[in-house]
Chains A and B, each alone.
Chain A
Amino acid sequence: MSLIEVKDLGVQFQTRDGLIYAVNGINFALERGQTLGIVGESGSGKSQSVLAMMGLLANNGKATGQALYQGQDLLAMKPAELNKIRGNRVAMIFQDPMTSLNPYLTVERQMTEVLQLHKGLDRKSARARSVALLDAVKIPEAARRIAMYPHEFSGGMRQRVMIAMALLCEPEVLIADEPTTALDVTVQAQIIALLRDLQRDFGTAIVMITHDLGVVAGLCDEVMVLYGGRVMEQGDANSIFYSASHPYTVGLLGAIPRLDAEDEALVAIPGAPPNMARQPKGCPFSERCTLASEQCREVLPALLAAENNPAVRRACHKSIQTVSELAAKGVSHA
């Protein structure tokens, strides 16, 4: 049994414009010590899928399918049961550390609360453990700084506080929703190195949500590429990066400004990110795909194992041959 197993997860929102399908049929399994990267642009449903797992959807949202943690379905649980797991066994780090910490409470109060609630520790030992964790995430003078309020920390330090807080109960799964997007590159490098160390030391499984394929490359074993609320491609990191089999992945890889490439024009993906209220009938990427045919616009491609590589699942009508030719063309443009 996997530590986390997500089966056919879907998220719908009831809006004035009708029902919006933000996430459709996501499947993945995660073992101890593994890292899954969920990659996508704005509106791809990457954040909503994990918020659904944690029972944190907005009021008009509804999750379908199953999210099993050690065989128990998180989606079917009552809030009281869920509270025993989230923050305790499955913890989350949010994108914006300023708005996800409580500005009225000191860091100490916010951290000890978690331990008192989940572990039944008294205030004093909870404080000692909190200081130890702030030390572990390399906050200088942790014993003094724990008494400070969130606004007294810089952005990078606040993100460290968030990570320390998420790790308080030694969770088995850590969900990180764009933990470095709001940070500077040098601080981002610090945080990624920290996550890597923590994973090595504690064997935590990590779900890393990001739009930055560079972050995924250094951290993740498995990668899932989302577009318009659907999985475009899913597989091990090496296959996705070195032999991308979906036109969207090829486009994403071509669009990143890279340091190790010569200064050719970037390969832009034409068009704009999808409008979730007006999804095409067929493949969500068909509007922007250079290979798209009539079939792509009309028929939704199923997510199937790739013919040449069973470790990769892809949702595309075009053959792997055609897509790899596209990838080669993108490079030779250079």
Chain B
Amino acid sequence: MLEAAQPILSVRDLKVHFKVKAGGAWPWSPARTLKAVDGVSFDIHAGETLGVVGESGCGKSTLARAVLNLIPATAGSIVWMGQEMTGASSQAWLAVRKDIQMIFQDPLASLDPRMTIAQIIAEPLRTHHAGMPDDEVMKRVKAMMGRVGLTAQQINRYPHEFSGGQCQRIGIARALILEPKLIICDEPVSALDVSIQAQIINLLKELQKSMGLALIFIAHDLAVVKHISDRILVMYLGHEMEVAQKKALYATPRHPYTQALLWAIPIPDPALERKKVIQLLHGDLPSPMAPPSGCVFRTRCPLAIERCAQEVPELRRLNEQSEAACLLA
């Protein structure tokens, strides 16, 4: 039995590297390595929400997939409920996925267009509880549809008959039907209209409370995760920049990248937004094929000094609430 204080998921120094051949390269020329995730560690406790934030190309989606072994990790360890999953068989992973489910970014593309809603939501039950009688499956599917705000009349419809927000509700129902302990939400609201985003975020929060779920909530901006997370992990170019309790992160961001992300979000208030003085980041994300030496953020960092180019900053604990990977933090 696990102790309450023990994390349900513990990820240590996770690395996901891809071999990439440049376009037009000779067949015998060596492939180059793209380090999508390069040494990420975090813990998740039961019922907790970890927000993962970063811009496109920072490796947040790769991280999510690696945790579920949808993309095999190159190095590092994933411990689920005290069980080491590195090198585990696909049988062992199948058993674990009963407890870890995923919600995807594109609500329509993640639903099979040729399956009815009932079939889609029931599929995890058919996989993991193959012997379950049909009427029990249907009972559970209907109950779950009610919980996510779908009506029983919609049960035989196809995904194309639903709007984006409703499709995302179907995706949530499919993830919840197994009563998992952890759900990984990969940008679940970024494809939705603002008014619908709020519906889905509120729904996830409410389901989390009633079912005691832990969530990994991935997003590309800090405003969205603020409403749902307990702790937040900020990523840049495959590295962890800062991990902090929510309050601390928004009140006193310690890493220059976190600060830049916070400042960059426009505030829907003309007076505040106009007088806001922000430190703009220069340039674009460097290519992950050729990351900068030392701190990966140094090429865009307004505070970078010479030492930043030589030393790779370790993620270090600054106080009770915050850890940051910055020499100057």
Contact = CB atoms under 8 A, between A and B. Distances in A.
Given A157-B284, A186-B260, A190-B280, A260 B267 contact: yes
Task: Please indicate which of the listed interface residues B223, B224, B260 has the most CB atoms of chain A within 10 Å of its own CB.
Answer: B223
A184 B55 CA distance: 6
Contact of B195 (A188, A193, A255): A255
A238 B263 CA distance: 22
B17 interface: no
Contact of B201 (A42, A215, A254, A257): A257
B218 to A, nearest CB: 14
Q: Is the interface of B mostly helix, strand, loop or mixed?
A: helix
A273 to B, nearest CB: 6
Contacts of A155: 56, 284
Contacts of A1: none
Contact of A259 (B165, B194, B267, B274): B267
B220 A185 contact: yes
Contacts of A41: 193-195
Interface in B134-165: 163, 165
Interface in B226-271: 226-227, 246, 250, 260-271
Interface in B176-216: 193-199, 201-202, 205
B191 to A, nearest CB: 10
B194 A256 contact: yes
B202 A265 contact: yes
B166 A266 contact: no
B226 A184 contact: no
A218 interface: yes
Interface residues of A, number: 48
Interface string A192-229: 11000000000000000001111111100000000000
Given A154-B284, A259-B223, A260-B272, A266 B202 contact: yes
B193 A211 contact: yes
Contact of A265 (B165, B197, B205): B205
A252 interface: yes
Interface in A246-269: 251-260, 263, 265-269
A265 B284 CA distance: 34
A253 B224 CA distance: 14
Interface of A: 41-42, 140, 154-157, 184-190, 192-193, 211-218, 237-238, 241-242, 251-260, 263, 265-270, 272-273, 288
5 contacts: A212-B266, A214-B268, A217-B270, A217-B272, A257-B227
Given A241-B269, A267-B198, 20 more contacts: A140-B283, A154-B285, A156-B284, A185-B265, A186-B264, A187-B284, A189-B264, A190-B280, A190-B281, A214-B265, A217-B266, A218-B273, A251-B195, A252-B195, A254-B198, A256-B198, A260-B272, A268-B198, A272-B166, A288-B195
